[in-house]
Amino acid sequence: MSALSLTVENGIAIITFDFPGESVNKFSQAVKEEFLALFGTLEHDQTIVGAVLMSGKKDSFIAGADIEEFLTWTTAAQAEKASRDGHAMLDALERLRVPVVAAIHGACMGGGLEAALACAYRIATEHPKTVLALPEVQLGIFPGAGGTQRLPQTVGLQAALDMILTGKNVRARKAAQIGLVHELVHPAVLRRVAIQRARELADGTRERNPQARKHDAKALLLDDNPVGRAIVFRQAREQTLKKTRGNYPAPLAAIEAVAAGYQDRERGYREEARLFGEMAMTAISRELIGIFFASTALKKDSGVGDAPVSTMPVRKLGVLGAGFMGAGIATIAVQQGTMVRLKDADVGRVGKGLAAIREVLRESVSKRRITRQQMDDQLLLAGGTVDYSGFGNVDLVIEAVFEDLHVKHQVVREVEAVIPPHAIVASNTSTIPIARIAAASQRPERVLGMHFFSPVHKMPLLEIIVTPQTAREVTATAVAYGKQLGKTVIVVQDAPGFYVNRILSPYLNEAGRLVDGGAAIDAVDTAILDFGFPVGPLTLLDEVGLDIAGKSGPIFVEAFGERLMPSTTLRKVVESGRLGRKGRKGFYLYDEDGKKGGVDDSIYAFTPGGAQRVAVEAEEVQQRCVLSMVNEAVRCLEEGIVRSARDGDIGAVFGIGFPPFRGGPFRYIDAVGAARVVERLEELNSRFSGRFAPADLLVRMARKGERFHPSGARPL
């Protein structure tokens, strides 16, 4: 089936890109060939004087390349050729006899933006769904169809590097300000205005690809001379290395490709293709692509298998507890158009919760993600109460009250007395088994866990926790609503700590035991940062809150015994009353604004060895912390807590920041080799008896030479 359709109106060709059978448009090899054939038509049909490129998809222009085809490359030469083919196609677009106007509505990503840059004129809709980006670094590569060459010439060197090296979204108004697009219009008139601009370009009354970017004097000084550019490139390399700690090579390769283009156009394109080919074959890119496919597959996963299941819409949400988590859940709900009733014990707490919602929405307005009118409309969806008024017609209730079983039992009994029979009751508990909470319910089949991560509006993961009694339609409804809220959802079986917090526990405990043994706090954190985690484990404890960490410890010890016993230092720090960042004192010190300072050396008084510290090799820190986590992840898979290695990888990457370039715990084991991991665990267990005994499943896989993800298979 054709992805392109062509109609002609008074000499202007309207090209509609509508990739068959997909929700978004993407450049497959077949689509590229279809474009080249169409370019031939435009070139030779003298009745056509201009063209408009539009999308047939709702709220999406072009998503980029067909990532499926990346998996067919087995050599750098094949990937390099794909880049050169992209150059050829977009060069043909840029040099067409007839000017082409890119009419952009919705997401314009990767190869889609590269194609737009090759057009003679770019119009975008001023709409929240319209964003432009080059997100290739998130796959361990960089723009390979001319993006590193055309973008700097369009928006300037510094703005281009910012987009290429971060992959961040640029919204329509900002895109117009930096010259990425030439004009903004309302979606209703996009087609008409684009046709008019194509006609003006054709008759010469409008300039092709006008340089609309606005430079300040400093930007001009840096961009337009070799010395200035050298400064920009040096700073970009330094900042990239500081941010990536050398774990991601693609941003550095992108800088080299951009720099080559300033020396010579043809060399720039050659270097882009060569370096793209090299990056596409790195293990890092393969792992990141694996994460991409896994998260994409989860978007289509009902959470209850392939058998048909009905779900109910969630039109009104009740939230019990207006604290940090409750207000966070309410915030993302109103942003998706759900009416929310927020309850707490007194008016002051409810007021603080509503104020927290308002603050997040104000931030969205300041960053131009939404308009002020949209903010006002969303705020109208949130109402507060100190009783259960307004809960009589809710579809879903999420409790986010104090982490105490008796308190949770009380609110479950109270809320079930007023909600309709069809309503679902969900707990946002982070450690208490859902079955224990459901014991207080008259309808345990309609009770489950919805474990959000903090801060709710930023963290992408949602764990749906089910018990043997949870009805399939209840699970499917919670999964569907989680996706509606924009979350990546995994379904896990009920158990203490569920999946994410359970694998986090031994990791944090081991960091504490390293401090028990004399390691410096900052040395432990630095070693883990170098491994690729976004924050060190001791910093993470401060961020989460030492009081919260202290409550989870006894639950894990009760369930799993001495193996998950917190370290001496951690227990004593918790007992001292330190709260971490929110109390301005934890393993580190914090100023009034919560900004992290240095290590609080008084912590060492809580350690068995006192103030005396010893040097510990970074590899020792990494092996003890990371292997304790991945071993626990295998246990969770073995026990059926997670449904698959795919879900286990996604949960760790999206929930606690396991390094994406390592693919998650199970892909990490595959990369190292199960036999090698078992060998390392056994060596550690000989030194620290009981803490590192390899999971039985891992031992069996090592013996048989098996992998969690089949080698060479499509990453799912």
What positions carry a catalytic annotation?
463
The answer to whether 434 touches 449, Cβ cutoff 8 Å, is: yes
CA 592 to CA 584: how far, in whole Å? 7
The answer to whether the beta carbons of residues 626 and 531 sit under 8 Å apart is yes
Q: What is the rounded end-to-end Cα distance, in angstroms, of the chain?
A: 27
The whole-angstrom separation of Cα 594 and Cα 577 is 18
Residue 402, token pair as written in the block: 């104090």
Compute the distance between CA of residue 331 and CA of residue 322 in angstroms, rounded to an integer.
11
Q: Which residue has the tokens 């626990």?
A: 632
What's the token pair of residue 39?
């370019």
CA-to-CA separations, 418 to 346, 390, 393, 401, in angstroms, rounded? 19, 9, 9, 18
Distance CA 399, CA 395 (A): 13
DSSP one-letter code for 319: E
- By CB neighbour count within 10 A (0-12 exposed, 13-18 middle, 19+ buried), where does 436 fall? middle
The string of DSSP letters for 255-273 reads: HHHHHHHHH-HHHHHHHHH
Q: Looking up tokens 């077949």, which residue turns up?
A: 30
Q: Which H or E element spans position 188? A: none
Using CA atoms in the order 705, 708, 714, 716, what is the torsion angle rounded to 10 degrees?
170
With beta carbons less than 8 A apart as the criterion, state whether 395 and 314 touch: yes
Pairing type for strands 339-343 and 316-320 reads parallel
| Beta carbons within 10 angstroms of residue 587's beta carbon | 29
Nearest to 205 by CA among 318, 121, 315, 82: 121
Q: What dihedral angle (degrees, nearest 10) is formed by the CA atoms of 677, 679, 683, 689? A: 70
